[in-house]
Amino acid sequence: MPETAPAAMILTSRTDTKPAPKPDPAAPGRRTRRLSVEIRQHAPGWLQAAALAGGLVVGLICAAALLVAAGVSLSDLAQEFVVSILTSPESLAAVLTQAAPLSIIGLAAAIAFRVRFWNVGIEGQMIGGAIAATAVALADLGPEPLRLVLMGLAAALGGALWMLGPTLLRLRLGLNEIISTLLLNYVAFNGLLHLLYGPWRDPESNFPNSALFSSPERLADLGWQNLTYALPLAVVLMLAGWWLINLSRFGFLMRVAEANPRLGRAQGLPMTGVVLAATLLSGALAGVAGFAICAGVEHRLTQSFAAGYGFSGILIAFLARNNPLAVLVVAFAVGMLFVAGQSLQVFYQIPSSAVQLVQALIVLCVAASDFFIRHRLRWID
Amino acid sequence: MFADFLLDWLSAVPGFAVPFALAALGLLVIEKAGVLSLGAEGFMLVGALSGIGAILGLGSQPLPALAVSAAAAALLSVLFSFLVVSLRVNQVIAGLSFVFLAQGLTGLIGTTEGWVNRPVEGLRSLSLIPLVDIPVIGPVLFRQDVVVFLTVPAFAVVAWFLTRTLTGLRLRAVGDGPDAADAAGIGVARMRYGAVAAGAALVGIAGGYLSVGTARIWVEGMTGGRGWIAIALVIFARWQPWRALAGALLFGAIEALIPRIAAVGVQVPQYFIAMIPYLATLGVMIWTCLRGNGGSLEPRALGVAHLREDR
């Protein structure tokens, strides 16, 4: 996350205030006690874990309360969210199918965060990537055995291209990337609609989605349930991301770009190049996630395949603390949420945006719990 | 023919400009106090839903419904303030999460209550009697609904408040130098809570105007990115109210033009036309960056949480 405790704050904070004297219970009518906030230098591991767990629990309780208020009984919630997913292989497979693209976009968001770049445009980049991959599929480019590889590469290129504008505008003009990436989501979505209602409309069904991909254009099945190679692809990408961030020279440069780009520049390190490469990589990963959904799940380009994923990417990177291996775990949990959200939609007419609500509540509660890691509350007189 | 088109277009501009204008004005108040408010889209969504909800659920008239919009957005903003002012949550994360929180919450409530796609009787247009008879500009400027008429005074009041009153000065001080303001005895947290609530109320009215005033119907996610455009407008306006109004008129003109392009028979693919507001926003942002940062009244402590113990 771009904002970890800034060094200046730690240096200048008053941390060793004298222990507060016990308030005198015999002093009536004087309300001089007040709650003081102090900065903590260190938070012990148990406290960090407790704060995270507390944030998660409070977030889940809030979410459950809202869903119960919307008419889903508590036992049904437990059934949909936990029991059915952990007991039925079909549901587990559905969760893993969701977790694959989710982890890829989580990694996309994490890599951009690593250079202090808020990539809020993941949905646009997914659309850009999926459009590029679909173009390859519809045009039957390349020999059939290589078709999928070409589609994946096209998707990476499409996602990166969609990111190129915001990156260059940020690096050359200092234009705020939050707004530019977000606005381009709407542009990409309208472009997608144009294709699906126009030239790419399915000639067979006349529905506004592309024609079905032929079998060399689909990610192959793994042989268990309906899982495809999207899952191993995601795992490989996470491992590669872990290597890139933790072990490679580029990862070191990203850490400099995150902590102190001015220092890096003064040392002659290519800070602009690092931000450029990291953001384009982020866009490319988002494009690949779009490809994984189209070629692995939907087998065609649809209108709303990317809907809601952008915020999930940010949530996953945030909860995983930008660590690619933790991204896998969080993506699995968010996948559970997505699958449960689908059955809530079918059986209880809960709109799919409820999934976003639950995610937002969890992010807010976990972010709020950070307060207790970084600060200490104390009554002073 | 062309004159008719022009007149028809221009008289629609104020109605389309009002949501941008009020949202930008509300954001300006929030940001002047040093709080970055990326949640504008969310507050607009809340305003849009609660306006319709007041009419369909409580049988309210359109104008009080807008008050409900303002109150609902202000109420939710207290939670936002608690997170970013009191608990010092990163303002970008909190703002983004609030957009999705509002998206989910309004979708959930609106759908379960069955408020989707139910037309309501919206605000009526009023004619300012003697003025509306002025040829050409009369119908354009003086046959509008009451919110349009109140928007310009609202800008005047906020501009006057920020620059000419002691509270306004304090609010700006909190946004520019919270440490100094704190030392001068201004309650930084209290001021920020107040600014966020007042600003969010305005943004809520902007959202309510979309559902109650112009569309007269509610659908999920109906703000369509206007909150984000309003954020860009504030940057474009360099945090100056009157410039924000000018920007809002520009985007109102663009939005009013969109349905009229197809109507006069110009053949442009509709989805390309739908991209125009977003591309225009990007263009305006680029132009703002190219022009340099001279004369900007950007609050110096924008997005920085304040804690007395930090000093």
Record: contact B93-A318, CB cut-off 8 A: yes
Among candidates A154, A142, A120, A128, which has minimal Cα distance to A2? A120
Mean pLDDT of chain A: 87
Cβ neighbours for B156, distance < 8 A, ≥ 6 positions apart: none
Alpha-carbon dihedral of residues A254, A260, A261, A266, nearest 10 degrees?
A: -120
Range of the domain at A200: 92-349
- Whether A10 is in a domain gets the answer no
| pLDDT confidence of residue B294 | 66
Range of the domain at B241: 2-310
- Whether A278 is in a domain gets the answer yes
Mean pLDDT of chain B: 89
Give the range among A199-213, A319-333, B132-146 with minimum mean pLDDT. Answer: B132-146
Q: Does A345 touch chain B (CB under 8 A)?
A: no
Alpha carbon distance A102, A313 (integer Å) = 7
Q: Which of B38, B78, B81, B100 to mutate to test the interface with A (most CBs of A within 10 A)?
A: B100
Alpha carbon distance A156, A135 (integer Å) = 13
Alpha-carbon dihedral of residues A255, A257, A261, A266, nearest 10 degrees?
A: 70
| This prediction's pTM | 0.89
One-letter amino acid of B297: L
Phi, psi of A39 (to 5 degrees): -85, 135
Which CATH number fits the domain that encloses residue A290?
1.10.3470.10
- Whether A62 is in a domain gets the answer no
Over residues B246-292, the pLDDT tens digits come to 999 999 999 998 888 877 777 788 899 889 999 999 999 999 888 87
| pLDDT confidence of residue A30 | 55
Which CATH number fits the domain that encloses residue B98?
1.10.3470
End-to-end CA distance of chain A: 36
Picking from A36, A184, A357, the nearest residue to B104 by CB comes out as A357
Element (H, E) at B256: helix B241-263
Structure tokens at A82: 């936990």
| pLDDT confidence of residue B310 | 66
Instruction: ipTM value, please give it.
Output: 0.91
- Whether A35 is in a domain gets the answer no
> How would DSSP label each residue in A118-149?
----HHHHHHHHHHHHHHHHHHT-S-GGGHHH
Q: Across residues A120-146, what is the average pLDDT?
A: 93
Structure tokens at A8: 């200046």
Measured between beta carbons, the chain A residues lying within 8 angstroms of B88 are: 371, 374-375
Q: How confident is the model at residue A9 (pLDDT cuts 50, 70, 90)?
A: very low
Over residues B109-125, the pLDDT tens digits come to 998 888 988 888 878 77
Domain count within chain A:
1
Q: Which of B278, B293, B311 to mutate to test the interface with A (most CBs of A within 10 A)?
A: B278
Q: Is the pLDDT of residue A15 over 60?
A: no
- Whether A7 is in a domain gets the answer no
Q: Does A66 touch chain B (CB under 8 A)?
A: yes
Over residues A77-118, the pLDDT tens digits come to 888 777 777 788 888 888 999 999 999 999 999 999 999 999
Alpha carbon distance B182, B204 (integer Å) = 30
∠ CA B121-B125-B131 to the nearest 5 degrees?
A: 170
Picking from A37, A71, A357, the nearest residue to B307 by CB comes out as A37
| pLDDT confidence of residue A377 | 83
Q: Is the pLDDT of residue A333 over 70?
A: yes
Q: Is the pLDDT of residue A32 over 80?
A: no
Picking from B96, B269, B282, the nearest residue to A183 by CB comes out as B282
* Residue B51 burial (C-beta neighbours within 10 Å; 0-12, 13-18, 19+): buried
CA B246 from chain centre, in angstroms, equals: 14
| pLDDT confidence of residue A28 | 52
Record: contact A39-B282, CB cut-off 8 A: no
Chain A, window 119-138: residues with a beta carbon less than 8 angstroms from a chain B beta carbon: 120
| pLDDT confidence of residue B200 | 97
Picking from A70, A186, A357, the nearest residue to B101 by CB comes out as A357
Q: Is the pLDDT of residue B144 over 90?
A: no
Other CB atoms within a 10 A radius of the CB of residue A147 amount to 21
Over residues A35-60, the pLDDT tens digits come to 788 888 788 888 888 998 999 999 99
A vs B, Cβ pairs < 8 A, gives: 150
- Whether A234 is in a domain gets the answer yes
- Whether A65 is in a domain gets the answer no
The shortest C-alpha distance from B131 to chain A (Å) reads: 40
Record: contact B220-A351, CB cut-off 8 A: yes
- Whether A208 is in a domain gets the answer yes
Among candidates A166, A165, A163, which has minimal Cα distance to A179? A166
Q: What percent of chain A has pLDDT over 70?
A: 92
Among candidates B258, B285, B251, B282, which has minimal Cα distance to B272? B258
Picking from A169, A183, A358, the nearest residue to B228 by CB comes out as A183
Q: How confident is the model at residue B4 (pLDDT cuts 50, 70, 90)?
A: confident
The shortest C-alpha distance from B127 to chain A (Å) reads: 37
| pLDDT confidence of residue B117 | 87
Domain count within chain B:
1
